[in-house]
Structures are given as C-alpha cells and as structure tokens.
Amino acid sequence: MFSITGYSLCTALIVSNLFFILFILLANSKKILLQSSLIPFKVIGILILVRMFVPLENGHTEVIPSYDVFPVILNVLQRPLFDIGDYHVKIGILLMLIWITVSVLLLIHKFKSYRTFVIGCSGGTMRCDKKMADILEEVKAANGYHFPTTLIVDKCFDSIMEFGFFKQTILLPDVSYSEKELRYILHHELEHFANKTNWIKLLITIIEVLFWWNPLVYVFRNACSHLLEIYCDYSISKDFKQWEKLEYLECLLQEAKREYSIRAQGAKRDVFYINNFAFGSHLKQRFEVLLDRKRNYMFEIVLGIVMLIGFFYSYSFVIQPGYAPPAVNLSDFTQQEYDIRYQNGKYFVYVGDEVLVEYETKEAMEKSGFVSKEDFK
C-alpha cells in the first residue's frame, strides 16, 4: 500500500536535489556534451519531476534514521512562535505560509510579465515584407515544419526571439540581415518550436515558482537553457557541410556581438520561456559542440541505465529522524529481570510487558551491556 508522509516528501526533496546536482555537472562537462544527445538530459529531467512530485513510500520502504540533522530541524519547526486564540502558531506553519505566499506572488509576476510582453508585441509599428514571409515559408517547407508561424519585425525588439505555445511567433529586430543570415536565424527559431522548447521552459518556470527558495533550481534553469540552445544548434546543423557550419557560427557570432552591445546599454528581459538567438548562452561551448561532437550511443545507454537504477532505488528508503536510546543503568537489572526480543528487524529490551529500550542492531545492544542467551538471526 502506497502512502505519502512528511518524511517521504523530505526524502523526495533530498533525492531531487542530488539529481539536480548530477544534471548540472553533466550539463557543464564539455566531454559529456561532445558525446551525448539531449536524450539523457531529458531522462534525468523527467526523473527529477517524477521523484519530486510523486514522493511515495510503502510498507517495504526501509527507514534510514537521521540522528543529528532531522531531529534538530524537527524540533525547530515545532517550536511555537505566538498564539492566535487557542492555536499555537509554530515555526513550521509560518514557513509554510511564507512558501505558499511567495509562490503565488511569483506566479502572478511571471504571468503578468509574459502577458505584458505579448501585448506589447501586438502594438507599435511593425513590418514583415513579402520577401521575408516567402523565406520563412521556404525554410519551413525545406525542413518539414508544418505549424503556423507569425513573423514580426520591429525596431523596438533588441534581439531575435520566439515565443508562443499554441500560436508560434518569431520576433526580429529591424536589422538588415542578408538572405543567408535570415535563413539560418529562422531555421534556428523554428527548430525551437519543433523541439517544444517553450513548453520545456514553462515546466522549468513552474518548478522555479514552487521551489523558489532552492538555489539549485536557478542553476538547473540556466543549465537547461544552455542545453536547449546547444542541441538546437546541433539539430539544424547535423547535415551541414563544414563550410555551412562555419557560416552558421559566423551568423551566431555577429548577432551575439550586436545583442551584447545592446544589453550593455541596459536592455533587459525577464521572461524565461521566451527564447532568443544568441544572448546569454555559452557561445564557445556551442561552437565546440557543433564542430567537434561525436555521439557515443553506448555512453548514453549506460548513463540512462545508471540513472534509472538510481531512481528506482531512491524509492526503497525514506529518511526519518532517529533518536538515541535513553541511557539505562544496568546495575538496576539482572539478566533474569529483562527479556530481549527480536521483532520487525529490531532488538527490544523488555522488563515485564513494557519496552525498556530498542536497538537497531545486535552490536549496539551488546555494546550497551544487554546480553541475550538466544542467537538471533
């Protein structure tokens, strides 16, 4: 029978943080990026979500006692701060209210930021000439993109961006791109739509809103953004000839220079699930992966198997606060006065029908001075 307890929730958060750390380390390893596709990272991401939001335990889950950290935390959370009538407001309740309040405020802020941005894009003086529209349709047809896409060009945009979940939109600054540059740029942005990048980033934003207090979430978010750009580059260029890759990278570099110069003047955008072409990503690493990447399928399989084993094993235990057995003065008892019984994997010392003390292992029991004539297995 499966159940969810406060301890299983805490265990889920601990395990999820370990997966966060693993994901971040892999995402920042040049050696890993040169050998792997995005699939192992997607697998780890899915495992993080499942482990975080499905914190189950069952009757066979092994309890791992924490004698130092958990008891202290539990005691602090249960301390009363003040009273409201007959109700004692404890530290844990107050922290929970702060957690929920900040999450709600962040959710409202994110929604308003996105809505303001979208509304702003629908106003102003915009243009998209027939030539640009024709190039967009040609790029879509050549690469098998069948979803409807709107192309908007305006001088108020400081960088190339795309957004939209059901209605995809590409935004271009009012810059005179060559036809070749425009084709590379549009191909890149359309590939983001095909890869469902905005949906992935929306999911990451939800995690950020719910667990705003966890610094690893922000590092994880940035690592995901970096990976999505790297593998978008690779997806569109995997069939390029070497000279085409160099042309694409030159286009990426020129746009990055232009965007950095604009951002240096104070331009800012605070909507994570709107993607842009070059700014804010590790350009050097993107170049290296695009030019030198050699996929190692065996490495991906082994990594995937290890991740799955670790994931399923994490459901086999739950961390709970453990408390050291009370000190017992053995001089008060003789071996005839106490009885040792082995029950449910633990050793219990009985005096009459009452449990005097319990031990996790036989060694701990004997170290305390209690001796049994029986040979417990």
- Say whether both 308 and 348 belong to one domain: no
Domain count along the chain: 3
The better pLDDT of the pair 276, 367 is held by 367
Torsion on CA atoms 276, 278, 279, 283, rounded to nearest 10? 140
Tell me the pLDDT tens digit for each residue of 248-300.
888 888 888 777 776 666 555 544 445 555 555 577 778 877 777 778 888 88
109 within some domain: no
Confidence bin at 17 (pLDDT 50/70/90): very high
CATH code of the domain in which 223 resides: 3.30.2010.10
Measured CA to CA, the distance from residue 223 to residue 45 in angstroms comes to 11
Task: Output the CA–CA distances (angstroms, integers) from residue 187 to 15, 300, 343, in the order listed.
Answer: 38, 27, 66
312 within some domain: yes
Tell me the pLDDT tens digit for each residue of 208-234.
999 999 999 999 999 998 888 888 888
Does residue 118 sit in helix, strand or coil? Answer: helix
The better pLDDT of the pair 325, 208 is held by 208
Place of tokens 């699930």: 273
- Say whether both 35 and 178 belong to one domain: no
- Say whether both 289 and 309 belong to one domain: no
Which amino acid is present at 262? I
Q: Is the pLDDT of residue 326 over 70?
A: no
141 within some domain: yes
Report the candidate in 12, 48, 14, 338 with the shortest Cα–Cα distance to residue 208. Answer: 48
377 within some domain: no
Q: Is the pLDDT of residue 160 over 60?
A: yes
164 within some domain: yes
- Say whether both 38 and 154 belong to one domain: no
Measured CA to CA, the distance from residue 19 to residue 15 in angstroms comes to 6
pLDDT at 273: 47
93 within some domain: no
Q: In the Cβ-directed half-sphere of 244, how many Cα atoms lie within 13 Å?
A: 11
205 within some domain: yes
Percent of the chain with pLDDT over 90: 17
- Say whether both 313 and 174 belong to one domain: no
Tell me the pLDDT tens digit for each residue of 114-143.
888 777 776 545 567 788 888 889 989 988
3-state percent helix, strand, coil for the chain, nearest multiple of 5 = 55, 15, 30
Q: In the Cβ-directed half-sphere of 81, how many Cα atoms lie within 13 Å?
A: 9
Q: Is there a contact between 189 and 202 (Cβ–Cβ < 8 Å)?
A: no
- Say whether both 137 and 282 belong to one domain: yes
Q: Is the pLDDT of residue 323 over 70?
A: no
Cα 56 versus chain centre, distance: 19
Task: Output the CA–CA distances (angstroms, integers) from residue 254 to 12, 78, 205, 247, 262, in the order listed.
Answer: 44, 57, 30, 11, 13
Least confident of 56-70, 89-103, 360-374: 360-374
Range of the domain at 66: 6-77+302-321
pLDDT at 329: 57
- Say whether both 312 and 258 belong to one domain: no
- Say whether both 253 and 363 belong to one domain: no
pLDDT at 330: 55
- Say whether both 205 and 347 belong to one domain: no
Return all residues near 150 (Cβ < 8 A) that are at least 6 apart: 167, 168, 169, 170
Report the candidate in 132, 127, 118 with the shortest Cα–Cα distance to residue 154. Answer: 127
- Tell me, what DSSP letter sits at residue 57? B
Report the candidate in 160, 146, 237 with the shortest Cα–Cα distance to residue 194. Answer: 146
373 within some domain: no
Structure tokens at 48: 């993080």
- Say whether both 257 and 277 belong to one domain: yes
pLDDT at 277: 59
